[in-house]
Structures are given as structure tokens and as C-alpha cells.
Amino acid sequence: MSTSERDLPILTLRNMETGEMFGYHIVPDEAADIARGQYPESADLSQKLIGKTTGAIVTSTFRGQSITVEVIGHGARVIGVEDA
């Protein structure tokens, strides 16, 4: 199944160090727009988040730094919180 045929998640994440919550939408690489919170499927954090459920904790690289996040929710952005 190609990337465009699969459902890629929209997640709400919480940075475990700062408590900041942000939207993280995994999209096919060619559709990525980081300014809009749309991250490429090939990114390290995206790869580690695919298939994770609410409550999962993931450590990865994000914007060149190590980050540990908790998956807070699926399918919706956090209202009033800017995308990282």
C-alpha cells in the first residue's frame, strides 16, 4: 500500500520535559509543511510515532534535538496551542 493510500495520523503530543502540547500531523514526505505542523513520514519522530496509541511515550530526535513526548490524543489538534 502506498503512502498516499494509508491513513497517517494527526497527533497531539506533550513534551515530557517542558509540558508543552503541540499538534503533529504525519504526512507523505512531498506534502510536508513544518510551519503548519505537517511533518514528513520519513522523519525519525514520525517513524517512531506511527502505530502508537494514546499514552505512549517516545524518545526521538525533533528539530535536531533529543525529545521525549507522550501521545495525548489522535485525530485532532490542540485548540489554542500553536504547532511546534
- What would the pLDDT profile of 35-79 be if each residue is shown by its tens digit? 888 999 999 999 999 999 999 999 998 888 999 999 999 874 443
Domain ranges of the chain: 3-71
- What pLDDT is attached to residue 75? 78
58 CB burial (10 A radius; 0-12, 13-18, 19+): middle
d(CA 13, CA 31): 20
Question: 84 pLDDT band (50/70/90 cuts)?
Answer: very low
Say whether pLDDT at 32 is over 90: yes
Instruction: Return the CATH number of the domain spanning residue range 3-71.
Output: 3.10.50.30
Is 70 in contact with 6 (CB distance < 8 Å)?
no
Amino acid at 62: F
Q: How many C-beta neighbours within 10 Å does residue 63 have?
A: 10
Is 23 in contact with 77 (CB distance < 8 Å)?
yes
Q: How many C-beta neighbours within 10 Å does residue 21 have?
A: 19
Region 17-30 average pLDDT: 93
